[in-house]
Structure formats: C-alpha cells, structure tokens
Structure 1
Amino acid sequence: MDFRIFTEPQQGATYETLRRVAVAAEDAGYDGFFRSDHYLAMGSEGLPGPTDAWTTLAALARDTRRVRLGTLVSSATFRHPGVLAVQVAQVDEMSGGRVELGLGTGWYEEEHRAYGIPFPPLRERFDRLAEQLEVVTGMWATPVGSTFDFTGEHYRLEGSPALPKPVQERVPVIVGGAGKRRTPALTARHATEYNAAFAGVEDAAAAYERVRAACAETGRDAGELTFSIALPVCAGRDDAEVARRAAAIGRTPEQARAGGFAGTPGEVVEKISRYAQVGATRFYLQVLDLDDLDHVAFVAEHVLPQL
C-alpha cells in the first residue's frame, strides 16, 4: 500500500503552511504530498487567498527530498497543454524525478467566473481533456531532435521541439472522476493511475470495474494501472480526540466517520482495508486542518504500521 497526504490549500493556506505539511509528511514516512488545483475557496473566505498549484510544487521540489509531488487534479481548463507539459517537465527536473500529473475536466464553475477562465459545457471539457492528454504525453514521448505536431478541434501544435523532457522516463498520469464512459476510456488510453475521489466503497468498486472493462476493450493490461482513493482523514487516540479534530474542520464525529477515514486507529484501518479489498492500493489522506501537524504524525505512527 501507498499512502499520500492530500491538501486543499484554496481553503486558506500560505506557501509556508504547505511547506510545513509537506516536510512533516516526508519526515513521517508518507509516500507523497499532493494538492488540489483550485483558485477559489468553497464555503469559506480562503484567506489569504489561493496559491497556484504548479508554482507551489516547483518550490516544494526544492524544499523536499523524497516524497512524490503532484496534483489531484489539475483542470484542463486552466492551462494550454503545451505550457502544462513544459511546467510539469521542469518541476520534474527540479525534484529529481518525483512529479505526477493529475488531470481532469474541471468542475467548479464559480472559480472560472471569478478569475476570468472560460468554462465550456461538460462535453467540450471532456473533449479538451482528451486532447490535452494526447498533447502532454505526446510531447514527453517525442525523441530529442524530433518535433511534435498535433491537430485537434481545440489545440494545434506545429513543429514543437517538445522540450524540455521530464527526468522520469514516463511521468505518472492520474485520471479520476465518476464518469461512466469517457473517464474509463481516457484512463485506459493515457493514465497510469485511476483515482475514485470521495467515492464510497461500493461506488469505488464499480468505478474500478468500469476502468478494467475499458482496458479490456482497448487491449491494455489493467494490471499496469494503480487504483486509488482519496478521502478526508480525521483520526485520534480516543473519541474525544476524534471529536476535537472533527470540530476543527467543521464536522461532527458522525459526519467525519461517514465520509472519510475517521475514528480511532482501528476504525481507520478497518475503513482502509475495505477499500483495499475492492482493489485500492494507493490512499490519498485528505488533511483539512493544515495547522495540525500532530495529526499527520499520529496517523503515520498509529495507523500506517497496521497496514
């Protein structure tokens, strides 16, 4: 199993806050530090304001040494795929080959309006995502000295040198979401990982099966894919500590347990094991209180050794 800390800095976090959590995650032995890619808070003021995902990861590439770094997930509406390929390749070099790219359609219409980003209908967003995956992976795979061309409905590249190259031979690409047709197809074609973000156990199992079916249709071995889940974590030594941590993120203990990896260490282990039984091998533990570094250490010390 692989365990990663996952953060939502649009809810309110400076770079220094994120750096402390990333370093704490690295020191505690987690496998990765990931962040969302959003520009507008949800249900809060989000002070002092958003931080750009790939700017943040570039800095963390220099401020960490071991953990994997990436987005869960970047929106295809935010960046031109040629520019995104350059950004990710550069951060990969800065990190010594530790970067992963999560890419999705984008869904939060309000942030697009707030920052002047076009927000086309869902079908077009899926079309753009498909072309972006083609462009980004195609540029990285183009041999040095050759050029990359692409003509799609939304993007056109002519004679691109497709530089720079990532350090990794293949940058891991994460596709996620609950789409029942195009999401599995795009995963089978382009991804190294499928993430069932915030899905219940039964829904995650069904989503994993759709991806396996899509792989079978395209002749790809589904065993090449990593299947993952992302859920909030809220753990404590006893019910009182669980309640305190739940209150800090605006939830009751019951809400935390229903929608995440929450409770005492034994409860959290049992919930994680249920996802493992349906095929998940990678777990993104969403930490919502970024000032509670003891929480990050507690889970690493009392939950992960049991798994």
Structure 2
Amino acid sequence: MFNALLLEELGKETKASVQRLNENQLTTGDVLVKVDYSSLNYKDAMAITGKGKIVRQWPMVPGIDFAGTVLASDHPNHQVGDEVILTGWGVGEKYWGGIAEKACVKGEWLVPLPGTMSAKRAMAIGTAGLTAMLSFMALERAGIKPDQGPILVTGATGGVGSIAVRLLAKAGFEVHAETGRRQHCDWLRQLGASEVIDRAEFDKEPAALESQRWAGAIDAVGGRTLSRILSQTKMNGAVTACGLAGGVALNTTVMPFILRGVQLLGIDSVYASTATRIEAWQRLQDSLPLDFEEQSEVYTLEQSIQAAHDLLAGKLKGRLLIQP
C-alpha cells in the first residue's frame, strides 16, 4: 500500500484527493521506484485543478517528474538501490505520475542521478530546470554569445524562467526578465537579471518588425508575447519556445525570419533523447548554486492541492517540491 494524490473525473469536474492505493494498481512499466521528491509544475497544476486538458486517462496520479530509489526492476539498466530521475514521457498525463510515495515506469524513461546530486536537488531543478537547460543549449548551438546583446527571459518568476535567468547570468549574458509580478523584481535581480520588464509591455499586437532589442530569448509564455519578441529580435538572433502560459496561437509574419535571419527553436523536454537528458542534467549539476534546493518551497501530498490553485493564481514563485 502507498499514498498518492489521485485525480478522478466527476462529470466535467476533477476531484483531487490523497488516497491509499495498492501496488498492484501500478501496471505501467518494469521499474518500481520509491519517490523521494516530486515537484509541482504548471502542467501538474492544470491537471489537479482541472483547468487544462492534461489528463488523458482516468483516474490519474499527477506529477510529470520525480526522483527516487529503485525498489524492484526487470530492466537491465536499473538495479535495486539505484537513484534515478524521471521527467516527461507522458507520465502524469497518460501514465500514473510522481505525486505519490511510489511509481512504476518503463526503465528507458529513467536516467541516473548525476554525481552527488540528491533527489531533493534533482526535483528543485526538475522538468523546469531541464527545459531551461535545453533552451540554453539550443541558444549555444545557434551561436548566441554574451557580447551580442541582452537575452530576454519571459515568465521569469516561474520554474523555467527563474532557472533560465540563473543559467544565463552565470554564463555572462545580460539578462532581461519579463514578469507580471512586480513584487518579485528584487528577487529576479538577485537571480542575475540586470533589468526587469513589465509583462504589459508585450501585451500588444506586434508590428511585422520592430526595433532590434534582443540577441536571443527564452520564452515560456507563447502567444502574443512570443510574436512580439520575434519582431524585436536582432539580426541572426534566436528565440526558444518552451511554454504556452500566454496561449498556443502564434500570430506573426515571416519578416523576422527572412529579413533578419531570426531562428525560432522549439524545445521538447518530454521526449528528449536519453543522451541529451544526461548531458543536460550533468550541466545543471555543475551550473547551479550548491544550496539551490534550499531555496524551494516543500509541500506534502495534502498541501499540493491548494498549492496547485495558488500556482495558477500567480501567488507562488520559483520551484515547488512535493515530499510524499
């Protein structure tokens, strides 16, 4: 038996409650993991509150990522006692996820904890940190360097944005952070942002081309914000798209691409290859402060339901951990 946050479909509503479940209900994969920490991501919050069409199978244990210790394994790459991380692969959407004391998943979805990284540190980084690093690596591959000008990070108080600000600042970039939460300006500057920009500045229909401002950007918002960023990106700049908090539609023109050579780079953290994940996790281990995990809020299974509502209401910032 184990405790888990279970989501059930009741008509058009989603019921979220902590329940005691049997291990024989875990039928997805070939590796059983004791979950030490999970985290609360934007996608998890939408699933728990029922505000987004995230859940594909009912009932569902949410949690798109977790870190823990292997309890049993029929997979050749994982032995009892191994410490592992899971992010993505449809877990928490199509398959039971990590906001629980135990999870059973396919071995090929797991990667080992790098070096001396703890499970708590891994989930303080989590899917958000992995996405931020994949975006950072994409900007590197596009040839974007610190001497080319400022990098914009949108949704900067969120998990992806806040870690992206840290990574870029440490690498020597001038980071401009966009947020609708002006009360967190000082915190963003502490993370390394040299300038904080109000979200309202991007809530306008863009012209086909605007004044060149950004050497690159990491955009976790999408929608009109992404359209405006593209119109303001410098010659041969690059923008990564890794979120949709501002909507899925993209109303833009070809002008930034054919007149300025701007690159729009899609970031997929859900199905990234194992080799890419291992490289990204190692770089995250080396790039973030040693006390990074201590700056995250930790919630119990019971507290995760209210935390999901607070996250969508814009009341929380940074990374949110779940300790089952």
TM-score of Structure 1 vs Structure 2, range by shorter chain: under 0.3
Greater helix fraction, Structure 1 or Structure 2 = 1
Normalised TM-score (structure 1): 0.26
Greater strand fraction, Structure 1 or Structure 2 = 2
Normalised TM-score (structure 2): 0.25
